[in-house]
Amino acid sequence: MIQEFLYLIKMEIFGNTVEQYLLSLILLTVLTTLFRLFKEVILKYLKQLADKSQTKYDNYLIEAISELKWPFYIIVSFYISIMFLNLPKSIYTLIHILTVAIIAYYTSKALVKFIELFVKDLNNRLNQEDRIDDNVIDLALGIVRIAIIIIVIITALTNLGIDTTALITGLGIGGLAVAFALQRIMEDVFAFFMIHIDKPIKKGEFIAVGNYAGTVEKIGLKSTRIRSRSGEEIIVSNKDLLNSWINNYGRVIERRYLLRLNIVYNTPVDKLEKIPEIIKEEIKNAAEDAKIYRVHFIGYGDSSLIFEAYIGITRMDYVEYLDVVQKINLNIKRRFDREAIEFAFPSQSIYIEKFSKDKF
């Protein structure tokens, strides 16, 4: 019985003994079992430990490893198990190529996943004002993903024994040719990323660029759309936008307003003395948070006494700012009417002296 069994396992089938096939099958079974144990037990346990740790990077590493799906583990197990077999070179080469391709595919996915989680975590730690839009991060990660895939493909081809020198040279020359051909576009694309990283402007802000002013409606890959006050759309390339002086009115912390009042000359002094206090009271009645920097009787005009008030109005929205200005002006007008204080208007007085004949 033993001799028959020994004879059976030493029997050759397609260039391999039954013993070799059994060892290969046993190794395949053991490896797939170990990988299943790793994926369904050990990896979950490591995830629980990572959730308790203070850092998030171990979580990101485990999530990246989770991108390695069952085809990855099966092909690795199968590739290791056939090392006990004598296979025709063509079949072995085919299995080797398939193994390298699958390993390269899942490895690149895991690497991209880790980079994505790491970058988004860094972005979320920034202040709300400094945070980069998720769409921009996704676009940048897409470029990184392509770069990683190219690197993985070249590495895989090299591992297969293929000379990649010509391919790398071709990619370099092709990249330079594309860069020169698309130089202007690439400058705008680079400016697009700089706008989202440095954040000189954001969608919805009112800005002035050169001779144009309007509200930012869209920041595209190549150009930025601005809606002017008169309604037309202004399209500015991202590169030109960054190379220009930008007045960003959307980030005004405080709007300053110079109030200038002209009072008639025949106003009594006691009323003139009351005017600064009246102005201050009515400014506060219009907006309690308004800052009054100065209110003074500053001089004598050609046809009026001149008072000036310099006010700070903490309104980001321009319409709200104008509403406060309007309320201040209306309050002062009503108060002056009650106090019988008159506004002056440009006028000239002509004095005619009557001469007697005796003077001639």
**pLDDT per position as a tens digit, 157-205:** 676 666 666 656 665 665 555 555 555 667 777 888 788 777 888 888 8
CATH topology of domain 255-339: Alpha-Beta Plaits (3.30.70)
CA distances from 351 to 240, 348, 354 (A): 62, 10, 10
Mean pLDDT of 17-35: 82
Q: Give yes or no for residue 360 having a pLDDT over 60.
A: no
DSSP 31-58: HHHHHHHIIIIIHHHHHHHHHHSS-SHH
**Burial class for 276, CB neighbours closer than 10 Å (0-12, 13-18, 19+):** middle
Q: Is 269 exposed, middle or buried (0-12, 13-18, 19+ CB in 10 A)?
A: exposed
Fold agreement (198-251, 255-339): no
* Residue ranges covered by each domain of the chain: 2-180, 198-251, 255-339
Beta strands in 117-219 (DSSP E): 206-209, 212-219
pLDDT tier for residue 341 given thresholds of 50, 70 and 90: very high
| Class (C level, CATH) for 198-251 | mainly beta
In the numeric block, which tokens belong to residue 283? 């400014």
pLDDT of residue 358: 54
- What is the predicted pLDDT for the residue at 296? 95
Q: Work out the number of other CB atoms within 10 angstroms of the CB of residue 114.
A: 18
- Percent of the chain surpassing pLDDT 70: 79
pTM for the complete prediction? Answer: 0.47
